[in-house]
Every structure is written in structure tokens, then in C-alpha cells.
């Protein structure tokens, strides 16, 4: 093995999974780990094995908002210089724990077609219908489906909602497991989650109610005339306000409709209110 390896070679040969395991971090079934860079009780760091990076979605983290590769992770974790981090990465490779990474061939899923197959099952499945009725969201106007495992191998036993990009195209799916009783195993997404629910707000939107969960947003859609937007927890809040700052009118009025969202927003209120009216 050469004395020195090019940085590009290191990133090709050393997987982010190996680096995480070296520091005692094991991704869960949702490919999340507890972020080592802040006090993280619920996993908020997403692992992207395809790109060999991690991304912390917590607004409490100093690393929030940027993808971290293998070398940068080592540097930040051990407070090393870049040169020291590279040497550390080389040592992990030379220990024989890593071979050249074979990047998987990823088959692009047509999420729109999948979702169209799942929509009628919501109304034909007595179990799914009973769950929707228990949440007071069983309504023909609702854009949702249910996956019983017949048409799609992921998000099984989940009520499924589409996440959309700016053009209105479905780019991810969110699944709410209707059988799970636990807090941490109810929410699932397709790989590399992106998009917003129910959609990107129009530039003409004057009042926007921001909810923590998709189910909360669904309820507002069905029973009010307000425009709403779900956060999937508080982790996406910073992203949303950056989006609004550049793409929506400065006199928009935002309402936070969840206790956790409110607590989170209060820490950033002074910065955000320069651009938008924010009601807590």
C-alpha cells in the first residue's frame, strides 16, 4: 500500500458506515444515528451510504445544514487538523477493515405510479379505514393511500402521503405505520427524503400554518381553509425559513401550530422576524 493515498481514493475506499462503526455509532433501520456533535436523544443524523456522507437535521447542532464526508467526520469527531484526519482515515483503510466500495445500482422508482396504486387501498382496507376514522381524517378529499404490501415492498402497513417538489411532482413518500404503538418506529420515508407536504406554498400565500406532523397538516386541510405545511418534526424548520426568505413575499404571516415547533422557533425568532411575520 502506498505511503500516502489521494483524498479522492480515501473517499472511494473508506465508507461512512466503517467510520461510524469505528466511533461506536450504528445506524438504525431508518439509517439514522444519534449525532455525536450535540446532545442527541433521538437520532437526528441521516446516513447516506450512497454518497458516503451524513447530515444532521437538528437545529441544535453546529453541523446542521451541511453534508459531512468521511474525512470531515473524523476531523470534527477528534478535533484534528485536515492532515491528521487524512492520516487517521488512511489507518482505517490499512487496518484491512475496508475494501473498495462497490456503489449499488439504484433503480429509480416511479413514486407517482406507486402512489396511484396505493390510493384505492386506503378505502378498500378495513384496517386502514378504521385508523383514518380514528384520526378523523377519513375523507374522499384526502390525498393519501395505504400500503398492505401488495404493490410496494417499502412502507408496509403504513398510511402513505406524497411529498412534492416545486413543480408538484411526487419525489418522496411518507409512511405512518398504523400498527406500531412505539414513538420511534411509526414514521418512515423513502430513501433520500425530499419534497414538502402537502406541497410548496404559493408565492401568493398570505397566511401559512406550520405543523409538526403530516397528520396535523391533513387535519387542517380537511377542516379549515388555511394553507398548512408539515415539518416532519422540528428538524426541517430552518430549511423552510431559508426557503421562505428567498422565495416568498416578505409580508407573509406564519403561524406555528405545535408546542415543539414553537419552542424551536423561539430560539430563532429574532433572526427570522426581520424577514417575515412569525406568530408563536
List pLDDT tens digits, range 1-21. 343 457 888 888 899 999 999
Model confidence at 32: pLDDT above 80: yes
Residue 20 · residue 26 · CB < 8 Å: yes
Rounded (10°) angle between helices 259-266 and 237-247:
70
Q: Under CATH, what is the fold of the domain 7-97?
A: DNA Primase; Chain A (3.90.580)
**What gap in Å lies between CA 87 and CA 27, rounded to an integer?**
25
Model confidence at 60: pLDDT above 60: yes
Q: Under CATH, what is the fold of the domain 112-279?
A: DNA primase DNAg catalytic core, N-terminal domain (3.90.980)
Please tell me whether the overall predicted TM-score, pTM, comes out greater than 0.75 for this model.
no
Those residues with Cβ within 8 angstroms of residue 81's Cβ, 6 or more apart along the chain or in another chain? 75
How would residue 108 be classed by pLDDT, with cut points 50, 70 and 90? low
Residue 278 · residue 254 · CB < 8 Å: yes
Rounded (10°) angle between helices 70-78 and 82-92:
110
Model confidence at 225: pLDDT above 60: yes
List pLDDT tens digits, range 137-194. 999 888 999 999 998 999 999 999 999 998 999 999 999 999 876 665 688 888 888 8
For the chain, the domains span 7-97, 112-279
Residue 24 Cα distances to 20, 33, 77, 97, 111, angstroms: 6, 10, 12, 15, 35
**What gap in Å lies between CA 35 and CA 135, rounded to an integer?**
33
Q: Put residue 155 in one of left, alpha, beta given phi > 0 → left and psi -120 to 50 → alpha.
A: left
Do the two domains 7-97 and 112-279 of this chain adopt the same fold? no
Amino acid at each position: 500500500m502506498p505511503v500516502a493515498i489521494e483524498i479522492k481514493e480515501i473517499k472511494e475506499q473508506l465508507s461512512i458506515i466503517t467510520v461510524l462503526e469505528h466511533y461506536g455509532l450504528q445506524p438504525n433501520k431508518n439509517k439514522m444515528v444519534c449525532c455525536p456533535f450535540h446532545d442527541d436523544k433521538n437520532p437526528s443524523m441521516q446516513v447516506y451510504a450512497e454518497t458516503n456522507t451524513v447530515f444532521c437535521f437538528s437545529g441544535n447542532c453546529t453541523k446542521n445544514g451541511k453534508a459531512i464526508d468521511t474525512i470531515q467526520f473524523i476531523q470534527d469527531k477528534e478535533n484534528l487538523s485536515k492532515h491528521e484526519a487524512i492520516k487517521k482515515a488512511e489507518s482505517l483503510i490499512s487496518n484491512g477493515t475496508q475494501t473498495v466500495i462497490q456503489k449499488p445500482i439504484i433503480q429509480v422508482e416511479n413514486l407517482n405510479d406507486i402512489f396511484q396504486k396505493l390510493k384505492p387501498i386506503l378505502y378498500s382496507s378495513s384496517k386502514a379505514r378504521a385508523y383514518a376514522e380514528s384520526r378523523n381524517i377519513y375523507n374522499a378529499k384526502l390525498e393519501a393511500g395505504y400500503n398492505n404490501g401488495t404493490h410496494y415492498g417499502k412502507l408496509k402497513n403504513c398510511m402513505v402521503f406524497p411529498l412534492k417538489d416545486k413543480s408538484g411532482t411526487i419525489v418522496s413518500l411518507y409512511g405512518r405505520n398504523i400498527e406500531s404503538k412505539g414513538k420511534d418506529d411509526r414514521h418512515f420515508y423513502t430513501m433520500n427524503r425530499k419534497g414538502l407536504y402537502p406541497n410548496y406554498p404559493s408565492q401568493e400565500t398570505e397566511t401559512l400554518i406550520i405543523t409538526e406532523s403530516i397528520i396535523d397538516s391533513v387535519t387542517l386541510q380537511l377542516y379549515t381553509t388555511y394553507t398548512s405545511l408539515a415539518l416532519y418534526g422540528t428538524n426541517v424548520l430552518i430549511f423552510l425559513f431559508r426557503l421562505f426568505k428567498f422565495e416568498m413575499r416578505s409580508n407573509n404571516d406564519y403561524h406555528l401550530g405545535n408546542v415543539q415547533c414553537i419552542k424551536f422557533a423561539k430560539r430563532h425568532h429574532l433572526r427570522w422576524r426581520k424577514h417575515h411575520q412569525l406568530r408563536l
